[in-house]
Structure 1
């Protein structure tokens, strides 16, 4: 029996075809993906899925994607992966073999995407990545996997380490979850700290699923670090920040990439003040978009699509939306859904398209080369402000971060 949890069909402009009874599978473009209902990836995964929904609605309002001179509506099929890499392989097998999708979006994160890629490559299906950034993914020889919007993990901390250096930080500690994406971020951070001329006084991993961070935080404090970079997923970063306050552990500079999300702010409240983060979706960031909606159009579409949403769109939403737009451009360029043709079109369009998330460029492995993330800080009133690089900064950073009893 086929799983139907999260299964949705977006058919915006199918009207006439449905009324005529002619909307057969061959007259739709079926795109599969998974969404995490539970587990450590749930918040980010569901945020990204809303970006895909906005893209599908926009495509179908325009009649579909033009393939060979004919507009073809998009049908999105979502199944649940529960943040479980064993389930991911079964579910992507289901999407391809049972749901008969033409191509797929990757699940959230490097761990799940690596598992999905083993299935999509075996079946010769094209997979568009919107979140997975592990460098190792692009060293495994996957032929039909392309990162549309997510920069490589080795570059994730570039802007934040540049800022730390500019502020005069000398000693840095990096801790990370024992998972592919956080581990790759930490290794990239090691090199970036070295390039910046700072000293890495601690680099240490902690087990996936760890709840008590008191020991590792005490080690960071004992190291004399002035800056802490916890490379971990959102739930872990929330727990780390809460425990820092409970233990009265303070650092002049703390970077948590998920601190820019509405979910993070809702979870930690005022304790998130002055934490540095990053995003590609902020009023100060307005790329010259050549495909898809611009920032204001996207904001309007999100409000219309999700009028009662608990959270505003965040950078995961924008990454996924941008990946959808790029998928559309790639399909139009290829004129087909053949995986080899789509990969060739992906390379042909490299460095020629800018979407809401930023400029698109890939190498032969499908690894994203651009899509930069400016650094933000939640300042005194809780409002996120762009602080780096200087050409997009709206305010000066608050540094050092005030001690807990002075916030």
Structure 2
């Protein structure tokens, strides 16, 4: 988009002088900014991926309603180029290469999750494109030396369960069971959860991995019960968590405290009353309102969502908020950089660290691009009330219900 070809038309002397003079930005030759990303139409990441892309689409619509992103005094509309990755990391590498080489996008948004993002990053690094992350939380992802990748809104898994484990300990939990599927994000989240549980004086009595695609969780749930776990914390995706919840009811397996990351999503809550009393976390709730200086406020976002997606099967959730926030940050980063060169965008990302707050929370990164803030308050799903913030105390609207009533007493 910001071509340098005009330099070659300068006389030799002028070109030599230009080489010695720092430039604030390269020249703009395109009339729009093309942003690429992939969406999962099928597979284990489909629900979360589709929820996220609606957040990006809201940002694009909002930007274009305002005439585009202002770069060096001129506004450029944003065009979103979407391709399907089918939740397949082998396919991701092919589609991101297509986005960059064939579609000639100026920058990209990451796919959903650490598994797919790690695959996409190998392509964006090789081809020199900036990638904005909105969902990949694996700490290991930021230890691989990727230079052009920034996590705009997703805090790392090592810290993600901090608030949950603080609340569990405060409620009197002494023994915790952590279950996770054999994938980077669930595994990293479980490891971070184990560390946070230990810090809060609790004993991890079961730390159990199971293969991706498993459908029957009866044995692993029985093991958690036999181990004496008072808190059950499975760290997998929606499909697994829905199956576990239904199987706990069928087997009449009860735990005083159950935390599930994706229980805050409308897709999970669609299972009905079986979701009651489960703890989760979110940064999208009427009681959670940050002082925003980039992008829309939560109320503006909610109104825009209803206007743009009047027939959406599900309302927005924390993934929609994370993806929209990443878009709002991208706008500020492009404006600061003055172009879409990957190195310039990374520098602008670091320069703006600690200075921006979007609807999803405050933004700050380290040199690797890892997000340092964007905290997740803990919510509990309560009968007749839906999601209720219960921790930390400064955002809690009521005390949690603990212990969870047994299935036969609900």
Q: Answer whether TM exceeds 0.5 for this pair.
A: yes
TM-score by length of 2: 0.93
Q: Which runs of 5+ in 1 are unaligned?
A: 1-23
Root mean square deviation of aligned Cα = 0.9
1:215 matched residue in structure 2 = 219
Whether 1:199 aligns to 2:203 is yes
1:36 matched residue in structure 2 = 40
2:316 matched residue in structure 1 = 313
Deviations 1:269-302 (A, max 9, x none): 1000000001000011000001100011000000
**Residues 7-406 of structure 1 aligned to structure 2 (within 5 Å):** 26-266=30-270, 268-406=271-409
Distance of 1:254 and 1:184 partners within structure 2: 19
Distance apart, 1:218 and its partner CA:
0.8
Aligned length: 383
Distance apart, 1:26 and its partner CA:
1.4
Distance of 2:115 and 2:29 partners within structure 1: 31
Distance of 1:214 and 1:47 partners within structure 2: 30
Q: SS in structure 2 opposite 1:340?
A: helix
Distance apart, 1:381 and its partner CA:
1.3
Q: SS in structure 2 opposite 1:245?
A: helix
Distance apart, 1:70 and its partner CA:
1.0
Distance apart, 1:383 and its partner CA:
1.4
Deviations 1:77-118 (A, max 9, x none): 000000000000010011001000000000000000000000
8 Å Cα contact 2:273-2:383 kept in structure 1 = no
8 Å Cα contact 1:109-1:133 kept in structure 2 = yes
8 Å Cα contact 1:171-1:224 kept in structure 2 = yes
Distance of 2:189 and 2:218 partners within structure 1: 22
8 Å Cα contact 1:153-1:185 kept in structure 2 = yes
Distance apart, 1:380 and its partner CA:
2.1
2:4 matched residue in structure 1 = none
Distance of 2:250 and 2:354 partners within structure 1: 47
Q: Which runs of 5+ in 2 are unaligned?
A: 1-27
8 Å Cα contact 1:270-1:382 kept in structure 2 = no
Distance of 2:195 and 2:142 partners within structure 1: 19
Distance of 2:380 and 2:394 partners within structure 1: 16
> 1:233/1:25 Cα in 2 relative to 1: closer, same or farther (>3 Å)?
farther
Distance apart, 1:309 and its partner CA:
1.0
Distance of 1:93 and 1:292 partners within structure 2: 30
Distance of 1:381 and 1:250 partners within structure 2: 21
Distance apart, 1:382 and its partner CA:
4.7
Distance of 1:67 and 1:292 partners within structure 2: 17
Structure whose CA Rg is larger: 2
Q: SS in structure 2 opposite 1:26?
A: coil
TM-score by length of 1: 0.93
